[in-house]
Amino acid sequence: MPRLLIVNCTADAVLQTLTAKGSRPYDRAFVESIEPHLPAGIEVDTFTLNIGDGESLPQGVALGDFDGAWISGSPLNVYRPEQPTVRAQLDLARAIWEEGVPAFGSCWGLQLMTAALGGTVHLNPNGREIGVARRICPTEAGRAHALYAGKQDAFDALCSHEDEVAALPPGAELLASSAVSRVQAMAVREGDRSFWGVQYHPEFGFDAVAAIIALRAQRHLDEGLAGTAGEVDTIVSDFHALARDPARKDLIWKYGLHADVLDPAVRTAEFGNWLRAEVLPAG
């Protein structure tokens, strides 16, 4: 049975606020995203490390005990090491890499490993990308990489980020780009060590996006993403409705949505590809 480490990089107080606004806990969202991709008869054992609250692995548990690690999103900024737990999270990312545990990072997870391996991250000059990231296009290397097996040449994804990778770490491959963020995906391999990361959130459903927008409603207004508080409320309500019923034709038409964000199997395909290529062989 493969064992996965879930590295929860967001403080529990923030997660509880998001949960109160309708989101699922991040570790639960990840597990529910990978389960449909497991081969018949295969289950995974998961352990959540709340490093966002400063937790360490308990005595008797080592990184080498895991066949893979998923690094979650976070509202932190990797270029602000004075923020709580940023230094500890960078140290853990380096340790995961050095131990040779295959890792996958979503959003902050991508940024964290980028910085840990010698790349740089900055505030995206194009502004915040939240809701649906449009027309993410795999590069030539991306089209040949296992990360995007079965994905279209251009696809949308659920997202929420204000930072982006500015410079890839040594040895990394750029796997996907968009008009908003040049680095939408990367992979690094060195011998038996591997990391795959994406700037978007394959684990998110519309419930998570709705909760984040609700939590940051004023920022939505300040950044011109909505004109009035009522418009923000409508977006939140619509996204919660899509979480309950992704077949709502009126909302699909209204927001220009496609199967790449509506169909969970398509939306989470990157996780399935990672499991098959990196985790299950290790287990």
Indicate if 139 and 188 belong to the same structural domain.
yes
Beta strands in 51-184 (DSSP E): 68-71, 103-106, 120-123, 129-138, 155-161, 163-167, 172-177
Task: State which H helix or E strand residue 239 sits in.
Answer: helix 229-244
Are both 75 and 47 inside the same structural domain? Answer: yes
Residue 88's identity, in one-letter code, is A
Determine whether 203 is an active site residue: yes
Residue 220 annotated among the catalytic residues of the structure: no
Give catalytic status of residue 9 as yes or no: no
Is the domain of 121 the same as that of 152? yes
Residues 37 and 10 in one domain: yes
pLDDT of residue 283: 62
Q: Of 9, 145, 159, 203, which residue is the catalytic one?
A: 203
- Give the CB-side neighbour count of residue 109, counting CA atoms within 13 A: 28
pLDDT averages per 10-residue partition of the chain, 283 residues: 95 95 95 94 93 94 96 97 96 98 98 98 95 97 96 96 97 98 97 97 97 93 91 96 97 96 96 96 72
State pTM to two decimals.
Answer: 0.96
Domain count, the chain: 2
| CB 242 within 8 Å of CB 251 | yes
- Same domain as 36, residue 175: yes
User: Same domain for 85 and 102?
Assistant: yes
38 and 143 both lie in a single domain: yes
Range of the domain at 240: 207-255
